[in-house]
Structures are given as C-alpha cells and as structure tokens.
Amino acid sequence: MKTNVGVVFGGRSVENEISVVTANQMMHAMDPEKYNIIPIYITKSGKWYSGEALKNVDNYRDTKSLLAQCEEVYVRPVYGDTNLYRCNKGFFQKAVLAKLDVVVPALHGTNCEDGTFQGVMEFAGIPYAGCNTLASANGMDKITMKMILKECGIPVIDYCWFSDKEWFDRQEKVVENIEGKLGYPVIVKPANLGSSVGIKAAHNKEELLDAIENAIQFTNRIIIEKYVQKLKEVNCAVLGNYYDCQASVCEVPVRSGEILSYQDKYMNGGSKKSQGMQSTVREIPANLPEATTTFIQNAACETFRALSCDGVSRIDFIIDEATDEIFVNEINTIPGSLSFYLWEYSRINFSALVDKLIEIAIRRQQDANKKVVNYGDNIFSGKAVQGAKMGGKMGGKLGK
Ligand SMILES: Nc1ncnc2c1ncn2[C@@H]1O[C@H](COP(=O)(O)OP(=O)(O)O)[C@@H](O)[C@H]1O
Ligand SMILES: [Mg+2]
C-alpha cells in the first residue's frame, strides 16, 4: 500500500515562486514506489488546487492555463477528517479527491511557514512534516525568535524593535532609541518576511528613515540590528525533532553586494530556469576551522531545540570577522530546497530526506494522539452546573 502524500506549496507569500521550485524538486526526488504524490498548490490569492500538471515547473509560466488543468480543492477543519475535497464535484465524481495520510509543506514565508498552514493541519488532525504551529510562528518572527534565543544564552546580534503604530506616533523617539542603543550602521528588516525582501542597511539617519519606510510597507513589526560590516555568513541545517536531532555540514553562501540578496539566492548560475536555493553560489562544506564548524553545528542544534522544531530547518549564522564572534542570524523552518544539498554530504539524498520527514511527521501525530486532550467530567452536568448557576454567590468565578 502506497502512502498518500499531499505536497503543499505556493501560498500568499512573497516567496510563492521559490516554494514552487522547492516542491517540484521534492516531488521529483520522492520514491514513486512508496508514495502517491498529491500536489496541492495554493495560489497567491489563497485558493487551493490539485492536479498532475502541477508537477511540471515549466507549466507555471502561464498560471491561468495551468490552473485550468487542475481542480480547486479544500480540507475541512474538522478533527479526524483527513480528506482532500473537490470544490466543484462533477456528476460522476466523488466529493473526495484523495485521503491524505500525511502532508509535506514545501511552503515558504508569511501565511505559510509561520504556523498559519500548520494550524489548519492541527485542526484537521492531518499528520504533517516540519515544525508545529508554535515553532513555526516563533521561528518566522525575527523579534520573537531572538528574544527566545537570547533567553537561552544563544548569541544573537544586538537589536531593537518597534511596531508601525509606534513609528507613526513617535518617529523621533524611535530614531533616538535606535541611535542610542545601536548607533550606525544598522540593518532594517521586516520581522516576518524572508528572501531578503524589505531589508536595507542604513549608514546614517537619512538612510535609516528610508529603510524603515521601505520595510514598513511589508509588515507591522520592524527589527533593527547592528550591521556587521566585515562578515562571513555560514548556514547549517538540522534534521530531527526536539529530543533527537543532527546537524548537517556547513555552507558559505556567496553574495554580490551589501546583503545576500534575492538575486544572489535564486537567480545565479546563468540558468534560465530558477532552481531555487540550488542556484545560490556557495562553498560546501564551508572551509572553516574545525572549532568554528563544531561551535556552529552545536549552536544550530541548540537553536532547533530551544524553538522546539521538528523536521528539517536551516539555521543561518553571521561571523563578525572583526571580532571572531559567531551569532545566530535566523532560522528557516522550511528552508529553500529543504536544504537537500547539505544532507547529501551526510549520505542522506533528497529521497531519503523526504522519507525521514514523513517518518517524523507520522511519529509526532502518534505521540500527540497519546496525550490527554479532554480533562475531567462535563462541568455542565451535575454539581458543576449548580456551581455555575450560583455564579452570583461565588463571585462569578469559575476557577479558570
Ligand atoms: N546584522 C547584519 N549585518 C550585516 N548583514 C546582515 C545582517 N543581518 C542580515 N544581513 C544580510 O542580509 C541578508 C538577509 O537577512 P536575513 O536576516 O537572513 O533575512 P531573510 O529572512 O530575508 O533571509 C543576510 O543573508 C545577510 O547577507
Ligand atoms: Mg536569511
């Protein structure tokens, strides 16, 4: 019996296209003897579609004609219903397109990688690969992530943050705080985006104002960090779950300008066809002193554990070459191309990587099923109801 695997990608995210690449690479790597692959593409406006045509990346040049070859689908947020339904059932068609045994999200970015999609899976009780809702949400928000890591003693670059509302209400105060706390140069980032979108360095007040106005278009929470001028970026992936994980080899991505840009990440290599993170120019394994590699691999696992991750994440580091300090810059809980190119060095090919992700997903659902979700008797029966009725006498307290 083959396992029905829903591969979900696209989504209402600036990284929609990157996710199409990740998903297509993954679907082609998956063992067809083991799995029935059910592609599920979420459009930029949030509609879900399924169909064989989604398995060919060339078809995405003309999404209108691609979607015309597909069926619109949905899942119900009812616990235990793991079916994928047709929105428009033909007369001789069944309402259920497929029963999903497990889902592998190949989504990137906001509304996708941030716990939103994971929450839908939790609601339906569909086993799914990767981080759960909490870890996804914490990992996506650069402010929350840094607060957690700092609390756990994991080194992060000095930062401050503010909301768009604070910016609109008291701009001068916010600037004063940034200048006082960090000085220049700084780097301005929307808290919850990815792929370097909305990120700019600022070397003076004028550039700072410009960078903030730019970032604020994308989100309501902004993080400002000290800009590390002479830096080396090192990435390391982690595979496993919160109690058992392993680190991959490290990589050094090569950038062309002040920051590792969207272009550096996805549009290098001279290929017309985007190959997602596979097209980044990089050094693998990173040529680093052994102690640095070990430090990074340990800190990557510690980050994975602190955020309670599952599946595969990529943790990105910044080494300040002026001081030799090593900082965790960010975690990607659904990394581009699922970081398969790093696991190949650990003798885990893309196909085996997906097997592991599915195994971890199914085990997590089995473990979750063992936990207590209902507690005690129905408080509306018997004595408890009397207690509630006596609300006035009890001061309205139900002991919540
Ligand atoms: N504090 C910093 N100092 C210098 N460069 C930075 C700093 N933070 C990020 N960068 C540069 O900006 C890029 C994108 O920032 P990052 O935090 O990784 O956001 P994203 O989630 O968009 O990838 C990094 O890959 C790096 O090149
Ligand atoms: Mg990054």
- What ligand is nearest to the CA atom of residue 257? 1
The residue whose C-alpha atom lies closest to atom 12 belonging to ligand 1 is: 259
Q: Provide CB contacts within 8 A for 214, sequence distance 6+.
A: 188, 198, 200
- Ligand having the closest approach to the CA of 253: 1
CA distance 67 to 72: 8
Give 336-372 pLDDT, tens digit per residue: 999 999 999 999 999 999 999 999 999 999 998 888 8
CB neighbour class for 247 (10 Å; exposed up to 12, middle 13-18, buried from 19)? buried
- pLDDT value of residue 273: 46
DSSP code for 170: -
Centroid of ligand 1 to alpha carbon of 257 (angstroms):
12
What ligand is nearest to the CA atom of residue 234? 1
For residue 398, the model assigns a pLDDT of 54
Q: Are strands 48-50 and 200-202 parallel, antiparallel or unpaired?
A: unpaired
Q: What is the pLDDT of residue 279?
A: 62
Ligand 1: residue whose CA is nearest its atom 16: 196
Pocket of ligand 1 (CB under 6 A): 157, 187, 189, 193-196, 199, 225-228, 231, 233, 255, 259-260, 316, 318, 329-330
- Ligand 2 centroid from CA 317, angstroms: 9
Q: How far apart (Å, rounded) are the C-alpha atoms in residues 217 and 92?
A: 48
The protein residue whose alpha carbon is closest to atom 11 in ligand 1 is: 259
Taking a C-beta distance cutoff of 8 angstroms, is the pair 254, 349 a contact? no
Tokens for 192?
């919850």
What integer pLDDT is reported at residue 373 of this predicted model?
82
Judged by DSSP in three states, 316 sits in strand
What are the structure tokens assigned to 329, written together? 């810059």
Q: Are 386 and 394 in contact (CB under 8 A)?
A: no
b/e code 105-144 from CB counts within 10 Å (16+ = b): bbbbbbbbbbbbbbbbbbebebbbbbbbbebbbbbbbbbb
Q: Which of 199, 280, 330 for a ligand 1 pocket mutation test, highest count of atoms within 8 Å of Cβ?
A: 199
Q: Which atom of ligand 1 is nearest to the CA of 332?
A: 21
The structure tokens listed for 163 are 């909301």
Strands (E), 280-390: 282-283, 311-320, 325-332
Q: How many CB atoms lie within 10 A of CB 78?
A: 11
Is residue 57 a contact partner of residue 20, using CB atoms and an 8 Å limit? yes
Q: Mutation test of ligand 1: which of 18, 222, 259, 282 has the most ligand atoms closer than 8 Å to its C-beta?
A: 259
Centroid of ligand 2 to alpha carbon of 314 (angstroms) = 10
Q: For atom 15 of ligand 1, which residue has the closest CA?
A: 196
Neighbours of 302 (CB within 10 A): 19
pLDDT of residue 380: 86
Nearest to 368 by CA among 199, 241, 283: 241
Atom 10 (ligand 1): residue with closest C-alpha?
259
* Residue matched to tokens 């691609």: 66
Rounded CA separation 345/114 (Å):
29
Domains for the chain: give ranges and CATH numbers. Answer: 3-128 (3.40.50.20), 158-226 (3.30.1490.20), 230-360 (3.30.470.20)
8 Å CB contact between 87 and 74 = yes
Tell me which residues of the chain have a pLDDT lower than 50.
269-273, 392, 394-396
Residue 128 is given by DSSP the state B
Question: H-helix or E-strand containing 299?
Answer: helix 290-306
pLDDT, one tens digit per residue, over 306-340 is 999 999 999 999 999 999 999 999 999 999 999 99
- Residue type present at position 189: K
What pTM did the predictor assign? Answer: 0.91
Q: Which ligand lies nearest the alpha carbon of 189?
A: 1
Residues 6+ apart with CB under 8 A from 197: 14, 190, 218, 262
Q: Point out the ligand nearest to the CA of residue 196.
A: 1
What pLDDT score was predicted for residue 270? 45
Which helix (H) or strand (E) is 35 found in, with range? strand 35-42
Q: DSSP state, 46?
A: S
176: CB partners within 8 A, 6+ apart: none
Our mutation pick for probing the ligand 1 site, out of 182, 187, 214, 234, counting the most ligand atoms within 8 A of Cβ, is: 187
Give the chain's radius of gyration (CA, Å): 23
For the CA atoms of 19, 76, 89, 112, the dihedral, rounded to the nearest 10 degrees, stands at -10
pLDDT in tens, 161-196: 999 999 999 999 999 999 999 999 999 999 988 777
Q: In the prediction, which pLDDT does 277 show?
A: 62
